[in-house]
């Protein structure tokens, strides 16, 4: 696994973040560059670099991200209208911070599909 990321500094409270949820395993804070009226990142406190590093031993930490997302959706009142959760993986997925995180986007209808420039045939 590669070096730690800026998210470790947020977990350790070495740099500020607008934290909206915290428990033993999971942290949620506002994205610094929001792409929707509500844009929160939900992360495991234990670093997992990418989705490719998810395995049987750490899968529960990933499951917790969805448990927290569901709680936040209800708490902030958009569970019924709906929302988008996204986890990017590596370069083609648009990942820039190598500590997995669930993007929670809500507060408006989301566009679909995200794949705008079709350069290859689909399988």
101 is catalytic: yes
For the CB of residue 95, give the shortest distance to ligand AMP in the complex, in Å. Answer: 4
Contact 105, 30 (CB under 8 A): no
Cα within 13 Å of Cα(50), Cβ side: 12
Q: Which of 25, 76, 92, 101 is catalytic?
A: 101
The radius of gyration computed from the CA coordinates of the chain, to the nearest angstrom, equals: 15
Q: Which is nearer to ligand AMP, 77 or 94 (CB)?
A: 94
For the CB of residue 107, give the shortest distance to ligand AMP in the complex, in Å. Answer: 16
Residues that bind ligand AMP (CB under 6 A): 6, 17, 31-33, 41, 88, 94-97
Max CA-CA distance within the chain? Answer: 46
Catalytic residues: 101
């Amino acid at each position: 696994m590669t070096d730690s990321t800026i998210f470790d500094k947020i977990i350790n409270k070495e740099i500020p973040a607008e934290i909206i949820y915290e428990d033993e395993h999971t942290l949620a804070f506002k994205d610094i560059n929001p792409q929707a009226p509500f844009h929160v990142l939900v992360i495991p406190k234990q670093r997992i670099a990418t989705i490719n590093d998810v395995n049987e031993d750490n899968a529960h930490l990933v499951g917790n991200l969805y448990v927290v997302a569901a709680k936040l959706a209800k708490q902030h009142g958009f569970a019924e209208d709906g929302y988008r959760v996204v986890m990017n993986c590596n370069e083609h997925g648009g990942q820039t911070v190598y500590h997995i995180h669930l993007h929670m986007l809500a507060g408006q209808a989301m566009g679909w599909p995200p794949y705008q420039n079709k350069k290859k045939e689909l399988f």
